[in-house]
Structure 1
Amino acid sequence: MTVPSRLLPLLEQFDFAYRRLADRMTGPVVDSGDGTDTPVGPLTDDEYFWEPVPGCWSVRRREGGPGPRATSLTGAGDWGRDAAAYPHPWPPPFTTIAWRLSHLSEMLTLRADHTAGGRRLTRDDYRISGDAATATTAFGSGAEAWRKALLGADDTALDTVGYCTYPHGGDPEEPFLDIVWWVNQELLHHGAEIALLRDLYHARAQPDGR
């Protein structure tokens, strides 16, 4: 199927944002932004769970219960992501790479299912990753599923309100094109946050900047 012209720039933006973040987490190099390659190692478990300030929300073993100000651990499996029912804590808790990456991967996987799958998955079905390598793989799988769902959308679908029935956002009330834009901005801003947290993690061990 021919990709609608309105979708092409958003699809290209998604591909760029995904590749930039995937390379930033796995290496061996990442595009520095000026056409040169910057060496980077794979995301470690220590970075994945690093809490730069007190009271972070993160991914935790289910048996240990939720973290500060969280009331539950969302997801399936032995690990869960800190969460709380509305109204959320204010100010919002600072979140770890583990939390942010889990959020992104779950969002991509569930939105793909509610666009081109069985439209049944919920947060309680999504398996939370307890280590960096598994989480990075899960992110790739979620991105692949979402991209495949996008390639199945024609011009009519882009204008259809509720084409995606994802239950944890405004999808049932929004045209699909707006949802595609929203997913891109989620990937862009959380990707930048994850990259910055990696930089801060390494900088803390090198106070002289070397």
Structure 2
Amino acid sequence: MTTPPRLAPLLDQFDFARERLVGRMAGPVMDSGDGTDTKVDAMTDEEYLWEPVPDCWSVRRRVDGPGPRATLLAGTGDWGRDAASYPHPWPPPFTTIAWRLSHLSEMLTLRADHTAGTHTLTRDDHPVAGDTAAALTAFAAGAEAWRKALLNADDTALDTTGYCTYPHGSDPEEPFLDIIWWVNQELLHHGAEIALLRDLYRARHR
């Protein structure tokens, strides 16, 4: 199917942001932003779980229970991600790389399913990764699933309100094109946060 002209630049933006973030986390090089490669060390498990301030939200072994101000561990498997029912704690807890990457992976996977899949997946179905390798694999799978779902969208789908039925956002009330834009900004801003946390981790003993 031919990609609708309105979708093409958003796909390009998504691809660039995804590839840059993966390079920033996995190395050995990343795009510096001007097309040149910058050397970067692969993220370690210690860094993935690093809590730079007290009372962070993160991913935790389920047997250890939720972290400070969290009331539950979202997801499935031996690990879960700190979460709370509404109303959320205020001010918002500071979140680790692990938390932010898990959030991105879950969002991409569930939105893909609620766009071009079974329309049934919930947060309780999404595995939470307890180490860097598993987290990178989950992110890659979620990003690929979301991109594949986008390739099935024609111009009519882009204008359809509720084309994505993802239950944890405004998707049922928004045209699909607006949801695609929103997912891109989620990837861009959480990717930037992860990059900054990597910089802080590297510089913490200087």
Give the alignment's TM-score, normalised by structure 2.
0.99
Equivalent residue, structure 1, for 2:9: 9
- Corresponding residue number in structure 2 for 1:111: 111
Q: Quote the Cα distance in structure 2 between the aligned partners of 1:173 and 1:117.
A: 19
CA RMSD, 1 decimal: 0.6
What code does the residue aligned with 1:179 have? I
Residue 84 in structure 1 maps to residue 99 in structure 2: no
Which residue does the alignment assign to 1:37? 37
Offset at residue 35 of structure 1 (A):
2.9
Q: What secondary structure, in the 3-state scheme, does the structure 1 residue paired with 2:141 have?
A: helix
> What SS does the aligned partner of 1:73 have?
strand
Report the TM-score when normalising by structure 1: 0.97
**Aligned residue type for 1:5:** P
SS in 1 for 2:73: strand
Q: Tell me the CA shift for residue 34 of structure 1.
A: 2.8
What is the rounded CA distance, in whole Å, between the counterparts of 2:12 and 2:22 in structure 1?
15
Deviations 1:101-152 (A, max 9, x none): 0000000000000000000000000000010110011100000000000000
Within a 5 Å distance, the mapping from 1:60-209 to structure 2 comes to 60-205=60-205, 207=206
The alignment of Structure 1 onto Structure 2 pairs a total of residues equal to: 206
Deviations 1:58-112 (A, max 9, x none): 0000000000000000000000000001110000000000000000000000000
Write the distance in 2 (CA, Å) between the matches of 1:140 and 1:181.
19
- Give the whole-Å Cα distance in 2 for the aligned partners of 1:33 and 1:5: 25
Which residue is 2:56 aligned to? 56
Identity among equivalent positions (%) equals 80
Distance 2:192 2:171 in 1: 24
SS at match of 2:60: strand
- Equivalent position amino acid for 2:33 in 1: G
Any idea what SS the aligned residue of 2:30 has? strand
| One-letter identity of the residue aligned with 1:57 | W
Structure 2, unaligned runs of 5 or more: none
Distance 2:132 2:106 in 1: 15
Secondary structure of the 2:69 match is coil
In 1, distance between residues paired with 2:84 and 2:3?
39
Tell whether the 8 Å contact from 1:43 to 1:133 is kept in structure 2 after alignment: no
The structural deviation recorded for 1:36 is 2.2
- Give the counterpart letter for 2:93 in structure 1: P
Deviations 1:1-57 (A, max 9, x none): 000000001000000000000111111101112332111121110110000000100
Structure 2 SS opposite 1:24: helix
Aligned counterparts of 1:35 and 1:17: Cα–Cα separation in 2: 13
CA distance in 2, matches of 1:122, 1:25: 27
